[in-house]
């Protein structure tokens, strides 16, 4: 899948020659092909990189389906898209994933100058039927509560990789960070002072324009689960165990492979490794590893903070949720059994 500005150069008439030997004041020095190439680069930044990768994978799978069935992928008939969405539903794909696939295919058609195939009634009705038949509930990660988190960090060793994992777990929980936010951090993005850690997010899901956000992480009550201490210990290893100027490199580095899995390298940790280290620590602690994911850290902060009496406003600010409704998905179970439950005390 390629995101292009198809036909942009053809749509712009070639510039007329300048009337004099000197260019007019304020004239653009770039040619139309150069501007088209630059516009294509900006186009790639219209969506998050993860979204573009998901769209690319969705399109490749759709092309494979069309080749197998002898159908045209570009442009595709609305009936073809309806059949593909049906195939995804029969495979057990989540309705949210099916919606994303439909949007990806429609967006690429628009970029290539074709009508959106998903505007047809047959596509809309099929997708509506899938939602009614299979539901729209999203699978949510189990919140990681403080006593579980403590078991996990105590189960880790003092190897460079485990010191990194301990810092990921404790900073990820205390800041309610998304996995993409964690792996995007550089050492220079974390400021250490007497009050704790001040973490600067250059860009996040709720700050798409890159204005920058700061999240304060206070010291922990218990030394074993203190994010500040975990950061300090990990930073010592990072400064002595890797090459390069410390502040100019990723904070959380990838670990080696095979016999070198306990060592750290200079490369940035992939986002997918956050979930794997959460599950690995859970397994070491004797917990049900498959129930947890990288999102358990963020969900755990919201749930635990609510149970501890934090206000919804404070929870929303710490986790940088864009709306109260988005944040409430994480505390709803805890809130349902809270003191304001309408049935409490009646029976």
Return the pLDDT at 196: 94
Considering the domain delimited by 31-134, tell me its CATH architecture. Answer: Orthogonal Bundle (1.10)
In whole angstroms, what is the distance from residue 346 CA to residue 163 CA?
Answer: 49
Greater confidence (134 vs 44) lies with 134
Looking at domain 146-336, which of 3.40.50.10260, 1.20.59.10, 3.40.50.300, 1.10.443.10 is its CATH number? 1.10.443.10
In whole angstroms, what is the distance from residue 76 CA to residue 91 CA?
Answer: 21
Return the pLDDT at 77: 96
pLDDT tens digits, one per residue of 119-131: 999 999 999 999 9
Q: Which candidate, 180, 219, 173, 217, places its Cα nearest to that of 202?
A: 180
For residue 93, the tally of other CB atoms under 10 A from its CB is 16
Q: What is the phi/psi pair of residue 311, to 5°?
A: -75, 155
When the pLDDT of each residue in the chain is averaged and rounded to a whole number, the result is 83
For residue 252, the tally of other CB atoms under 10 A from its CB is 25
Radius of gyration of the CA atoms of the chain, in A: 25
pLDDT tens digits, one per residue of 25-77: 455 578 887 777 777 667 666 666 777 788 889 999 999 999 999 999 999 99
pLDDT tens digits, one per residue of 233-264: 999 988 875 544 466 689 999 987 665 567 78
Greater confidence (26 vs 106) lies with 106
For residue 168, the tally of other CB atoms under 10 A from its CB is 26
Q: Please state whether the predicted TM-score (pTM) of the whole model is above 0.85.
A: no
Query: Do residues 293 and 279 make contact, with C-beta atoms less than 8 angstroms apart?
Result: yes
Domain boundaries, the chain: 31-134, 146-336
Q: Which candidate, 52, 76, 73, 75, places its Cα nearest to that of 3?
A: 52
DSSP annotation of 189 reads G
Return the pLDDT at 13: 44
């Amino acid at each position: 899948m390629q995101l292009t500005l198809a036909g942009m150069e053809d749509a712009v008439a070639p510039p007329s020659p300048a009337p004099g030997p000197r260019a007019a004041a304020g004239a653009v020095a770039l040619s139309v092909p150069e501007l088209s190439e630059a516009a294509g680069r900006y186009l790639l930044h219209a969506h998050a990189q993860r979204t573009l990768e998901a769209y690319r994978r969705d399109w490749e799978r759709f092309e494979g389906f069309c080749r197998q069935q002898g159908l045209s992928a570009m442009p595709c008939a609305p009936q073809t898209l309806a059949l593909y969405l049906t195939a995804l539903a029969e495979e057990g794909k989540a309705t949210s994933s099916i919606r994303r696939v439909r949007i990806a295919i429609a967006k690429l058609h628009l970029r290539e100058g074709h009508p959106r195939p998903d505007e047809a009634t047959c596509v809309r009705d099929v997708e509506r039927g899938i939602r009614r038949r299979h539901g729209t509930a999203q699978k949510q990660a189990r919140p990681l509560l403080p006593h579980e988190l403590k078991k996990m960090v105590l189960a880790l060793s003092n190897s460079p990789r485990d010191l990194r994992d301990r810092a990921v777990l404790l900073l990820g929980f205390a800041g309610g960070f998304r996995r993409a936010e964690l792996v995007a951090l550089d050492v220079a993005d974390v400021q250490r002072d007497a009050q704790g850690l001040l973490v600067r997010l250059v860009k996040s899901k709720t700050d798409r324009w890159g204005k920058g956000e700061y999240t304060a992480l206070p010291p922990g009550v218990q030394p074993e689960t203190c994010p500040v201490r975990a950061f300090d210990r990990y930073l010592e290893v990072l400064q002595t165990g890797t090459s390069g100027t410390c502040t100019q490199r990723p904070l959380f580095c990838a670990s080696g492979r095979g016999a070198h899995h306990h060592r750290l390298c200079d490369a940035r940790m992939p986002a997918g490794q956050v979930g794997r280290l959460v599950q690995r620590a859970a397994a070491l602690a004797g917990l049900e590893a498959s129930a947890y994911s990288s999102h358990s850290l963020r969900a755990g902060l919201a749930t635990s903070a609510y149970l501890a009496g934090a206000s919804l406003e404070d929870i929303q600010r710490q986790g940088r949720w864009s709306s109260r409704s988005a944040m409430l998905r994480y505390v709803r179970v805890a809130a349902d059994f809270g003191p304001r439950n309408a049935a409490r005390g009646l029976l």
